[in-house]
Amino acid sequence: MKIIVGADAWGVELKDTVKQHLAKHGHEVTDIGGTPENQRPYYDVAKEAARMLQAGAAERAVLVCGTGMGMAIVANKFKGVYASVIESEFTARMCRAVNNANVLTMGSMVVAPYVAVQAVDAFLKTNHTQGLEDVADFLHTALVAIAQIEQEA
């Protein structure tokens, strides 16, 4: 799978851990920064990742800042980009199963490296409605309603 990774100064170390894990498992990873030498603000990283997703350069993105919230706020400004802040493997799985998120954001001040890679794996392996078949019709309807709201906004 093609995956974008990016981080601000707070998230570089955790982003690099995730990047290595993804590459080790055969994913095509595009690292949009930052690095210790080239720090980037979260709003620039999230904007670049969102535009790349819109252009079809990747299927998913993993973005890291201090809390994950700034990255999510910015990424969610872009049509067709659905970012979720996670703090566990469970929330990573649910952001896909319930909301069909295509961007996972997390905070280096909140999520330990081991939990981060487990969460990323769950995010990549989970499909929309997986494990929630009893409410699948509602979840599909919700995505249609969200797309309509996005058009109106």
Q: Please report the pLDDT score of residue 26 as a whole number.
A: 98
Query: What digits encode the pLDDT tens for the residues 93-131?
Result: 999 999 999 999 999 999 999 999 999 999 999 999 999
Secondary structure element (H or E) that encloses residue 121, with its range: helix 113-125
- Domains of the chain are 2-152 (3.40.1400.10)
Q: Please report the pLDDT score of residue 76 as a whole number.
A: 97
Segments of the chain assigned E as strands: 2-7, 28-31, 60-65, 83-85, 103-107
Q: Which of 12, 46, 65, 119 is catalytic?
A: 65
Total Cβ atoms within 10 A of residue 126: 19
Chain centroid to Cα 130, Å, comes to 18
Task: Identify whether 95 is a catalytic site residue.
Answer: no
Q: Please report the pLDDT score of residue 82 as a whole number.
A: 98
Which residues of the chain fall below pLDDT 70? none
Q: Please report the pLDDT score of residue 153 as a whole number.
A: 84
CA dist 122 and 89 (Å) reads 6
CA dist 142 and 99 (Å) reads 8
